[in-house]
Amino acid sequence: MTDMDSATSPILEAFETFRVELDDYNDRRERLIKASRDATNLSKKVIFLLHRVVGEASAHEPAVGKRAAQRGREKLREVQNLFAKMSTELKGDRYWRYRWQVSPGIQEYTEALSFAHYLEHGTLITLKQVEESLSDTSGIPYFPMSASDYLLGVSDLMGELMRYAISSMSKRGGRQKAAEIGAFVRNCKADFEMFTPNVRDLRKKQFVTGQSLEKIEDANYAVVVRCSEFDLPPEMLDDIVSQTVSTVHGGGVDAASK
């Protein structure tokens, strides 16, 4: 071995180490992106399922929300299993290194879980409850749950509640439920406002929440005005409300939400 070979050998070994580390980083990153995308798609399907179950009911009843939440949680176990598998890739400080790759899936999961929770309890799910749903049988979390992902996930919930509120108006007992949802979204928007300076993208979410709240209030206002014109039994008023909601829906509420 020449002196030149002796001098370059440590350098080549160092570059070989760097190559292995970069390959490992890129491979893990791609695996997490794919897993996060799968979690996002499955969570979206759960949201559609929740809307479909509550939409099939002819009247608004607490039992409908509980039944929808139960079916939604059954499907969410598939997403939880995905995160359980991802946890092996996120040991130690790897979670923070790869957080941006898994964040979309966590946010979409939080949105689906919070929707199921609202349908059953009528309240906002807490950060601790989301963390507990992403833990093993010993109660150890798969990975740290950031407050940012939680806030962004539950902010997306407001759009689903807007759709739920408007679809509920045409059902018996749905007018009161729509008013409750409007108040809930309004309170959430006010409470989240204090976090906007510290959470990336939350200001954009708050703007969208404001649009959702405006659609709920417009629909509620149209219903109240139409109902005030008539002195009719509740059953007949429900028919009028159904026609009014259809008009508002076709006039922009549904189109603007897409």
pLDDT in tens, 150-161: 999 999 999 999
Q: Is 176 domain-assigned?
A: yes
Give me the pLDDT at residue 256, please. 40
Give me the pLDDT at residue 176, please. 84
Give me the pLDDT at residue 63, please. 85
Q: What CATH number did the domain enclosing 225 receive? A: 1.20.58
Give me the pLDDT at residue 114, please. 98
Q: Is 1 domain-assigned?
A: no
Q: What CATH number did the domain enclosing 63 receive? A: 1.20.58.190
Q: Note the Cα 246 to chain centre separation in Å.
A: 26
Q: Is 134 domain-assigned?
A: no
Consecutive sets of 10 residues in the chain, 258 residues long: mean pLDDT of each? 60 78 88 96 97 82 88 96 93 89 96 97 96 92 93 97 89 82 96 95 96 92 72 60 54 41
Q: Is 135 domain-assigned?
A: no
Total domains in the fold of the chain: 2
Give me the pLDDT at residue 251, please. 44
Q: Is 130 domain-assigned?
A: no
Q: Which of 127, 153, 133 is nearest to 69 (CA)?
A: 133
Give me the pLDDT at residue 177, please. 87
Give me the pLDDT at residue 86, please. 93
Give me the pLDDT at residue 181, please. 95
Give how far Cα 248 sits from Cα of 51, 173, 218, 225, Å: 19, 19, 8, 13
Instruction: Please tell me whether residues 21 and 114 are part of one structural domain.
Output: yes
The CB-side HSE value for 176 (13 A sphere, CA atoms) comes to 7
Question: What residue numbers bound the domain in which 70 lies?
Answer: 13-123
Instruction: Please tell me whether residues 100 and 66 are part of one structural domain.
Output: yes
Helix and strand numbers, DSSP H then E, in the chain: 10, 0
Instruction: Please tell me whether residues 150 and 243 are part of one structural domain.
Output: yes
Instruction: Please tell me whether residues 164 and 247 are part of one structural domain.
Output: yes
Instruction: Please tell me whether residues 111 and 163 are part of one structural domain.
Output: no
Q: Note the Cα 122 to chain centre separation in Å.
A: 16
Q: Is 4 domain-assigned?
A: no
Q: Is 136 domain-assigned?
A: no
The answer to whether 90 touches 142, Cβ cutoff 8 Å, is yes
